[in-house]
Structure 1
Amino acid sequence: MLEGVNVALGVSGSIAAVKTVELAHELRRRGASVRAVMTDSARGIVHPWALEFATDRDVVTEITGGVEHVDLCGYDGWADVLLIAPATANTVGKIAGAVDDTPVTTCATTALGADTPVVIAPAMHEPMYDHPGVLEAIDTVEDWGVSFVDPRIEEGKAKIASEAAIVCETARATGERPLEGERVVVTSGATSEPIDPVRVLTNRSSGRMGRAVARACYVHGADVTLVHGHVGPHSLEGSSPVAGLSAGEDGVALPYANVEQVETAAELLEATLEACSAADALVSTAAIGDYTLEPSEEKLRSGAERTLDLEPTAKVIDEVRKSQPTLPIVGFKTETSGDDGAMIEAARETLARAGLAFVVANDASVMGSDRTRALLVHEENAARYEGTKADLGAEIADSLAVVLGDDPSS
């Protein structure tokens, strides 16, 4: 996500500075090179040696005759982005007032003057975050093009955003944004149909692929609405936290999308139709249940033989196509044959039936896995992909950008 990106990591004196060692590691895991810049207050919370270890580079703790701020963030400077995480109320206010009396604020003034992207992740007590002057300072620097990563409001504190959110916003700030200004709807996860108040009819989808597509579209510049169903059943060994969520979040707060949480196929259809009414594209990734039933109001007693009367659910892409005849739609087709030729044939049938932009065909065996093998099937060609779902999400976002670039109505 950040391959080849140079990140100047500004650290100010919030207690959240203790999290910057792991943040620096995560930025590097995502492909970035990192160099830290610290205020005196930050040095009282985390030792510069810790960040030197985490970044494998010298840490800037003062501005000397070597004009470190210009070397990092000036014209033709080393940094592709200045990421200030955490940023205190004091630091944000100084940036808004062009006050540069710390290494971090001096780098910020330099970066803003040199048109180097700046990303800020605030962290402070909630009353400080609600101060009119702080809010005004945030509005001011946002008007200058600075990107903010919203904090998590918990326990009377505006806590620093998750590493995933910070990395995502940094990638968006530094990459090309071919989907800038586009509104993309992504469906994801499994639907479930209640049998009774306890039991449901569902499938094994984890929603990882849809979240990867939504995240990639956001990084590519799009405004994303994610219509997300349930996460299907998986073994304890194969389970993992929902990608993009930090510990303590409620499962629907994602940093890269406006989330509409649904349960049944009917709810997903309704939410998708509403979201697509103002959208430029739909990526239909969700594993939508093919059947529904009339649920029992009381729990069905176990031990007796039962027959469930199943009724087919509506095809979401067909219903969206009826209401939006010209909307570019990307479909997904899951098969169990394992045969590429059969998957391509099934994908082309769906592509022709619903007038899709292209179809991503994959085998059901990848459900719940971080990796996938897929075929991107267009009308006249098909491209094979094997790798992580995160990287496939980026491939899909790239292809969608081409589709929308060719669409005169987008």
Structure 2
Amino acid sequence: MLQGVNVALGVSGSIAAVKVVELAHELRRHGASVRAVMSPAATNIVHPWAVDFATDEPVVTEITGDVEHVELCGREGWADVLLLAPATANTAGKVAAAVDDTPVTTCATTALGADLPVVMAPAMHEPMYDHPGVLEALDRLEAWGVTFADPRIEEGKAKIAAEEDIVTKVARATTPQSLSGTHVVVTAGATKERIDPIRILTNRASGKTGRAVARALYVRGATVTLVQDGSEVPYADVVAVETAAEMMEACRRTAATADALISAAAISDFTADAVDEKIRSGSPLSVDLEPTPKLIDSVREAYPDLPIVGFKAETSGDDAAMVAEAERIRDRVGLVFVVANDASVMGDDETRVLLVGDEGTEPTEAVGSKDTVAGQIADRLAVELGWSA
């Protein structure tokens, strides 16, 4: 997601600076190169040697005659983005006032003047975050184009955002916005069909692929609605559902304003008539199953012109059979393309899929982490719909 991206990481004197080693590792895990700049206050919290180790690069702790701020963040500088994490109230106020009295604020002044993307992850006590002057500074920075990874308000503190959120915001700030101005609905994970108040019918789908696709779309500028049986995520508006019927209703409703639907969820093919009391164990039991309507058929009926991407999981392990099934569903529903995969990868972090497009075209193989494959799916959607130059 950050392959080939150079990140200048500005660390200021919040206690959240203890997170910077993990953050640097996470940025590098996603492919970024990282060079750190630390304020004097930050060096009192985490030793520059630790940050040197995490980034595998020397740490800037003072601006010398080598003009490190220009070399890093100037118009022809090394960095593709300046990430201020953590950013204290002091740092945010100084950056908004063009005060550059530490290596971090000097890099920020340089980056803003050079039109370098800047991402800020504030961290401070909650009363400081609510101070009118701090809020005014943050509003000014946002008006200047600074991107924020908003803090988590917990225990009276505005805690630094989760690493996933920060990485996602850095990726969005450094990725071509091929889907800017679009709204995409994505389904993810499994659905659950009730048998009694305790028991359910479900499947092994984890939702990792669908969430990765939603994240990849957001990184490319889309507004994303994620329909899933899961918790909130920072990169999409989540519509929480449980059953196939709830997912279908949510998709028909949210697709009214959508430019596309990506149906990545493993939706239950069957439902049962649930009973109101727990079924007692220890005795034979028969459950009558009824087929559930197909979500993509239902959405297609409601929105005949909506571009839809389908997923098709098979267990044969045979590429030709997967492609044949993908082509069948493509032609039946009129899909833009179909993502075909073997069901054996359910729940794994790595995956392999075949992108099956128009008749007469060869399927495209995508292999790697689910984030990597999701990026290829998002790029394919942008190209197919003419949203990408």
Q: TM-score range with shorter-chain normalisation?
A: over 0.9
The two structures have a TM-score, normalised by structure 2, of 0.96
**Which residue of structure 1 lines up, in the alignment, with residue 264 of structure 2?**
285
Matched ranges for 1:14-163 at <5 A: 14-163=14-163
**Which residue of structure 2 lines up, in the alignment, with residue 387 of structure 1?**
368
* 1:315 paired to 2:264: no
* 1:399 paired to 2:368: no
Matched ranges for 1:337-376 at <5 A: 337-376=316-355
Q: Separation in 2 of the partners of 1:325 and 1:139?
A: 42
**Which residue of structure 2 lines up, in the alignment, with residue 246 of structure 1?**
none
Question: Do the aligned partners of residues 362 and 162 (structure 1) sit closer, same or farther apart at CA in structure 2, a change above 3 Å counting?
Answer: same
Matched ranges for 1:297-316 at <5 A: 297-316=276-295
Q: Separation in 2 of the partners of 1:338 and 1:67?
A: 57
Which residue identity does 2:122 align to in structure 1? P
The one-character-per-residue Cα deviations of 1:31-63 (angstroms, maximum 9, x if unpaired) are 111111111111111111111121122211122
Kept in 1, the 8 Å contact 2:179–2:387? The answer is no
Q: State the shift of 1:343 in Å.
A: 1.4
| Higher mean C-alpha deviation, range 208-217 or range 306-315 | 306-315
Question: Do the aligned partners of residues 108 and 406 (structure 1) sit closer, same or farther apart at CA in structure 2, a change above 3 Å counting?
Answer: closer
Q: Separation in 2 of the partners of 1:406 and 1:76?
A: 30
Q: State the shift of 1:122 in Å.
A: 0.5
Q: State the shift of 1:80 in Å.
A: 0.7
Q: State the shift of 1:406 in Å.
A: 6.3
Matched ranges for 1:152-191 at <5 A: 152-191=152-191
Q: Separation in 1 of the partners of 2:367 and 2:36?
A: 35
Q: State the shift of 1:219 in Å.
A: 1.2
Which residue identity does 1:400 align to in structure 2? L
Secondary structure in structure 1 of the residue aligned to 2:232: coil
Which residue identity does 1:402 align to in structure 2? V
**Which residue of structure 1 lines up, in the alignment, with residue 2 of structure 2?**
2
Unmatched 5+ stretches in structure 2? none
Q: State the shift of 1:65 in Å.
A: 2.0
Match of 2:234 among 225, 230, 255: 255
Secondary structure in structure 1 of the residue aligned to 2:258: coil
The two structures have a TM-score, normalised by structure 1, of 0.92
Kept in 1, the 8 Å contact 2:366–2:376? The answer is no
Q: Separation in 2 of the partners of 1:138 and 1:327?
A: 39
* 1:225 paired to 2:219: no
Question: Do the aligned partners of residues 71 and 399 (structure 1) sit closer, same or farther apart at CA in structure 2, a change above 3 Å counting?
Answer: same
Q: State the shift of 1:76 in Å.
A: 0.4
Matched ranges for 1:231-270 at <5 A: 252-270=231-249
Which residue identity does 1:280 align to in structure 2? D
Secondary structure in structure 1 of the residue aligned to 2:158: strand
Question: Do the aligned partners of residues 91 and 266 (structure 1) sit closer, same or farther apart at CA in structure 2, a change above 3 Å counting?
Answer: same
Q: Separation in 2 of the partners of 1:26 and 1:297?
A: 47
Moved over 3 A (4+): none
The one-character-per-residue Cα deviations of 1:320-358 (angstroms, maximum 9, x if unpaired) are 111111111100011122222221111111111111100
The one-character-per-residue Cα deviations of 1:111-134 (angstroms, maximum 9, x if unpaired) are 011010000001011111122222
Q: Separation in 2 of the partners of 1:192 and 1:105?
A: 51
Which residue identity does 1:360 align to in structure 2? V
| Higher mean C-alpha deviation, range 79-88 or range 366-375 | 366-375
RMSD, aligned α-carbons:
1.3
Q: Separation in 2 of the partners of 1:392 and 1:71?
A: 34
Question: Do the aligned partners of residues 308 and 169 (structure 1) sit closer, same or farther apart at CA in structure 2, a change above 3 Å counting?
Answer: same
Q: Separation in 1 of the partners of 2:126 and 2:321?
A: 56
The one-character-per-residue Cα deviations of 1:142-179 (angstroms, maximum 9, x if unpaired) are 11111000111111111111111111111111121211
Kept in 1, the 8 Å contact 2:178–2:387? The answer is no
Q: Separation in 1 of the partners of 2:341 and 2:289?
A: 26
Which residue identity does 2:181 align to in structure 1? G
